[in-house]
Structure 1
Amino acid sequence: MGSFSGWLINPYKLGRELLPKERKADLRAEGLPRLDPLNKGAIHLDATRLEYLDRFFLLRGWALLGGGFLALFCVTLGALGIYGFLQSSHGEVEPVFWGIVIVALMCGLPSLVVLKLFVLKDVFRYTHYPVRFNRANRTVYVFTGGAKGYVEVPFDEAFFFIHEDGGSAANNARSYDLLMHILRDGTVIHTVAIGSDGGGSPGIVLAHWEMIRRFMDEGIAALPFPPLGIFASSRVSVKNALVVPYAALPGVLSWILSPFLIVIGLCRYIALATSRRPIWPSSVDAACAPPATSPVFREPAVYGGLPGGEKGEAAFMAYWGDAEAKARQHDQALSSLFR
Structure 2
Amino acid sequence: MSEYSRIFDGWLTRYKLNRLLNKYELENRLELDDAITIPSIDKGVTKFNGSFAEYVDRYFFWRGWAAMSCVVPAAICLYFALQMGLLIYTPIDGELPSGELFFAGWIVTVLISLLIIGLCVFAIKKDFFCYTHYPIRFNRKNRKVYIFQHNGPGGVIDIDWEKSYWIVGKIRDGWHSSYDLRCHILDNDGLIRHTFSVGGESSYRAEILQHWEMIRRYMEESPAALPFPPLHLFTSTEPTLLNCFLIQVGAVSGFNGLKSLPYLVFGSIWAFFRWISQKTCRTPRWPAEVEAVCQIAEDDPYRLPEPRQTAERDGLTEEEFLQEIDYIRSAKEAALAYEQANPVPSGP
TM-score normalised by structure 2 residue count: 0.88
Matched, 1:195 2:202: no
After alignment, is 4-13 or 211-220 more displaced? 4-13
- The aligned counterpart of 1:319 is 327
Of 156, 177, 181, which residue of structure 2 is paired with 1:178?
A: 181
Change (3 A) 1:309 1:96: farther
Q: Distance in 1 between matches of 2:11 and 2:167?
A: 21
Residue of structure 2 equivalent to 1:216: 219
SS in 2 for 1:142: strand
Give, as a single letter, the amino acid of the residue that structure 1 aligns with 2:47. H
Structure 1 residues 30 and 289 mapped into 2: Cα distance closer, same or farther (>3 Å)? closer
- Distance (Å, rounded) in 1 between the aligned partners of 2:170 and 2:343: 10
Contact 1:43 1:298 in 2 (8 A): no
| Shift, 1:54, TM fit | 0.5
Tell me the equivalent position of 1:165: 171
- Tell whether the 8 Å contact from 1:202 to 1:334 is kept in structure 2 after alignment: no
Distance 2:163 2:154 in 1: 21
SS in 2 for 1:338: coil
- The answer to whether structure 1 residue 16 and structure 2 residue 19 are counterparts is yes
Q: 1:79 aligns with which of 55, 78, 82?
A: 82
**Deviation digits for residues 221-254 of structure 1 (CA, Å, limit 9, x no counterpart):** 1112110110001001010011112224216543
The number of residues matched between the two structures is 333
Counterpart in the other structure of 2:49? 46
Distance (whole Å) between structure 1 residues aligned to residue 12 and residue 342 of structure 2: 26
Residue 299 of structure 2 is aligned to residue 293 of structure 1: yes
Match of 2:3 in 1: none
Amino acid at match of 1:54: D
Q: CA deviation at 1:79?
A: 1.0
AA partner of residue 78 (structure 2):
V
Tell me if 1:125 matches 2:130.
yes
Secondary structure of the 1:162 match is strand
Distance 1:285 1:242 in 2: 31
Q: Structure 2 counterpart of 1:195, which letter?
A: G
CA distance in 2, matches of 1:202, 1:289: 34
> 1:143 is matched with which residue: 141, 148, 162?
148
The CA distance in 2 between the partners of 1:32 and 1:213, in whole Å, is 8
Amino acid at match of 2:276: I
User: 1:240 maps to what in 2?
Assistant: 243
- Partner Cα distance (1:145, 1:154) in 2: 20
Q: CA deviation at 1:287?
A: 0.8
Q: Which residue of 1 aligns with 2:310?
A: 303
Distance 1:313 1:209 in 2: 24
Task: Find 2:234's aligned residue among 231, 239, 242.
Answer: 231
Cα distance, 1:31–1:281 mapped onto 2, change above 3 Å: closer
| Maintained 8 Å contact 2:257/2:267 | no
- Find the residue that maps to 2:167 and give its secondary structure: strand
- Contact in 1 for aligned 2:234/2:310 (Cα 8 Å): yes
2:299 and 2:33 map into 1 onto residues whose CA distance is 35
Residues 39 and 210, structure 2, Cα contact 8 Å, conserved in 1: yes
> What is the RMSD computed on CA atoms of the aligned residues?
2.3
Q: Would the aligned equivalents of 1:43 and 1:231 in 2 still touch at CA under 8 Å? A: yes
Structure 1 position 275 matched with structure 2 position 278: no
1:152-175 deviations in Å (ceiling 9; x for gaps) = 00011011110111265xx4x321
Contact kept, 8 Å, 1:48 with 1:134, in 2: the verdict is: yes
Unaligned regions of 5+ residues in structure 1, if any? Answer: none
Residue 338 of structure 1 is matched in structure 2 by: 346
Identity of counterpart residues, as a percentage?
A: 29
Most deviating of 243-252 and 74-83: 243-252
Deviation at 1:265, TM superposition (A): 1.1
TM-score, normalised by the number of residues in structure 1: 0.90
- The 2-side partners of 1:252 and 1:92 are apart by 54
The 1-side partners of 2:326 and 2:31 are apart by 29
Of 180-189 and 258-267, more deviation after overlay is shown by: 258-267
Listed one character per residue, the Cα deviations across residues 172-231 of structure 1 (whole Å, up to 9, x for unaligned) are x3211100111112111111110011x221111111011111111112111121101100
Distance 1:127 1:192 in 2: 17
Q: Which moved more, 1:180-189 or 1:91-100?
A: 91-100
Conserved in 1, the CA contact under 8 Å of 2:36 and 2:213? no
Amino acid at match of 1:140: V
Contact 1:158 1:181 (C-alpha < 8 Å) held by counterparts: yes
